[in-house]
A and B are shown apart, each in its own frame.
Chain A
Amino acid sequence: GAGVSQSPSNKVTEKGKDVELRCDPISGHTALYWYRQSLGQGLEFLIYFQGNSAPDKSGLPSDRFSAERTGGSVSTLTIQRTQQEDSAVYLCASSLDRGDTDTQYFGPGTRLTVL
């Protein structure tokens, strides 16, 4: 079956603009995660959705970042008034559930470049 997909694959924007990144998780997966990966760095947790529960936003770096998950499926990560330090690869992952051992399946990522 189809894996996790993300769009766009690349996004170049000017400082101060807003951007929206989209994630389509694997069908039936109830848990969805957003991470950020900067060059040479590990994955930085941003936000986590589990079913209909309120998302865990504790990883969002500032109030310019927000995310939604509509209908328990597709998720959108929005970055307002982008800054150059927002440049990174944004990865989305989904898992069947948030059991304590669930495997995360990652999408290919969106490479964001803020000029």
Chain B
Amino acid sequence: SQKIEQNSEALNIQEGKTATLTCNYTNYSPAYLQWYRQDPGRGPVFLLLIRENEKEKRKERLKVTFDTTLKQSLFHITASQPADSATYLCALDMPDDKIIFGKGTRLHILP
């Protein structure tokens, strides 16, 4: 069955540096992959979507890459700020039209 693996430990990054989060999947190659941000006590908020035929997608300080050979997506936040501290979830589609989510990575940007 399809599994999504994200950095299980919290990630601590110094303010101003680039934070890089990893999302790996095991079997089926999705048509697209999404990244969401979740703050404590709130529902996830959509950030970026990247399709299987796209290598890279950018939005302001965010950049997502998608490598179907490695079965991996990387999520980068450049010039990180304390306000970027949150849990980041990756999600991908399945052949049966469901979307499955990873457990998320907690990111702490240290001032």
Contacts and interface: CB of A to CB of B under 8 A. Distances in A.
Given A100-B31, A101-B32, A101-B49, A42 B43 contact: no
Interface stretch (A69-77, A79-87, A106-114): A106-114
A58 B94 CA distance: 13
Contacts of A65: none
A103 B31 contact: no
A45 B103 contact: no
B98 A48 contact: yes
Interface of A: 4, 33, 35, 40-43, 45, 48, 56, 58-59, 91, 93, 98, 100-101, 103-109
Nearest to B42: A108
A103 B99 CA distance: 11
B103 A40 contact: yes
B98 to A, nearest CB: 5
Interface string B8-37: 000000000000000000000001101000
B43 A45 contact: no
A104 B45 CA distance: 8
Contact of A43 (B31, B32, B51, B101): B101
B99 to A, nearest CB: 7
Contacts, number: 53
A42 B101 contact: yes
A42 B103 contact: yes
Nearest to B32: A101
B97 A56 contact: yes
B35 to A, nearest CB: 11
Contacts of A107: 43
B89 interface: yes
A35 to B, nearest CB: 8
B46 A104 contact: yes
28 contacts: A35-B101, A40-B103, A42-B102, A42-B103, A42-B104, A43-B44, A43-B91, A45-B98, A45-B100, A48-B97, A56-B98, A91-B43, A93-B43, A98-B97, A100-B93, A101-B32, A101-B49, A103-B49, A104-B44, A104-B99, A105-B46, A106-B43, A106-B44, A106-B45, A108-B43, A109-B41, A109-B42, A109-B43
